[in-house]
A = this chain, B = another copy of it.
Amino acid sequence: MTKTGIGIVETKYFTFANQPDEFILESKEKLSPVTIAYETYGTLNKEKNNAVLILHALSGDAHAAGFHKGEDKPGWWDNMIGPGRAFDTEKYFVICSNVLSGCRGSTGPASVNPKTNKPYALDFPIISIGDMVSAQKALVDSFGIDKLLTVVGGSMGGMQVLSWLVKYPQSIRSAIPIATALRHSPQQIAFDEVGRQAVMADPNWNSGNYYQGNPPDKGLAVARMIGHITYMSDVSMAEKFGRQKKDNKQPFKFTADFEVEGYLRYRGDNFVKRFDANSYLYITKAMDNFDASEKKPFHESLLGKSVKVLVIAFKSDWLYPAYQSKEIVKACKYAGIETSYCEIDSTYGHDAFLLEIQEETHLISHFLKSVSQKRGKT
């Protein structure tokens, strides 16, 4: 077996059409049918106790590792998943699914509403992080897995980790929330809101009804550009771009003069090719509404639970600052949960959770080893 990655993979789909009761949302609304796009890597063992659930961030999807046939770009966390990697597919069975309300195969606002035979658009119900997690739980149950070895994710993926801890602590042995928060601060809400405003300001958005015409690409590109600034750091931008100018032969007055401007435009333009603007609205709203202490203080949800937690933060992450990770650690310790915390000294900002592979591999592989060794005891 090659040690260089997991090779060709494909996305699978799981549809819960016949179990509508499972999709009563936290808002009490019902959603049916529900399809969840997912991928798996590695093999589920006979005891079904080697499964790892990977949870993606705002713009991620089920394709976490390997290559889709004919594509030359691997999954979004490929360097963490595979033989000998942090999530070692020779040991673990790795599952990653696209979130409910997403646009990469799972049911979302672009899906067809069976009542109208048209895309839901804004008739799609408001989705919570807890709803995303409930859908994942049903998917995990379908494999006959009683207890996941771990649930892990960065940013919004980390919020899903925290939601698993609140909703299904008995179904996980451990949890790894990375670069995340118990709830969004007003600054985080503000950045999301400006992104939503940029989308809704685009006349092509048309109150969400654009599936027959041109989508609000310009608005969504602006939203993505704002996002990209918050994912990097002052230092990482200085290192990557400085004040380097682009080679514009006949510049328009407001052309991209600086490299950093060209980079943002490029990232914005690329994003709209693969993302649905309404999904952007629904998913960011789910993040803003999330509060791990919504029903009761987070630490109370954990009291008496047998779960091990590894919290990871990054020094230069100003979007999800380390103090928010420390609040998670504090609550876990207060509940008597075995908790480790590491603040990685990275300059990459929030993006570090996708880039600091060596450090994360070291921390996570040791953590998983210790959780695995405890399997018999818990």
Q: Which residues of A contact B (CB under 8 A)?
A: 122, 126, 183-187, 189-191, 193-194, 196-198, 200-203, 218-219, 221-222, 225-226, 228-229, 232-234, 237-238, 240-243, 253-254, 256-261, 264-265, 268, 281, 285, 288-289, 291, 318, 321
Copies in the complex: 2
Query: In the complex the two chains form, is A237's CB within 8 Å of B185's CB?
Result: yes
Query: In the complex the two chains form, is B243's CB within 8 Å of A193's CB?
Result: no
A122-B253, A281-B254 known; A201+B225 contact, CB < 8 A: no
User: What B residues does A254 contact at CB under 8 A?
Assistant: 122, 196, 200, 281, 285
Contact of A222 among B184, B186, B197 (CB under 8 A): B197
Question: Least Cβ distance of A261 to chain B in Å?
Answer: 4
Query: In the complex the two chains form, is A243's CB within 8 Å of B126's CB?
Result: no
A183-B243, A196-B254 known; A264+B190 contact, CB < 8 A: yes
User: What B residues does A228 contact at CB under 8 A?
Assistant: 190
Q: How far is the CA of A4 from the CA of B187 in the complex (A)?
A: 36
Contact of A201 among B221, B240, B243 (CB under 8 A): B221
Q: How far is the CA of A221 from the CA of B253 in the complex (A)?
A: 21
Query: In the complex the two chains form, is B198's CB within 8 Å of A260's CB?
Result: no
A203-B203, A234-B187 known; A256+B221 contact, CB < 8 A: no
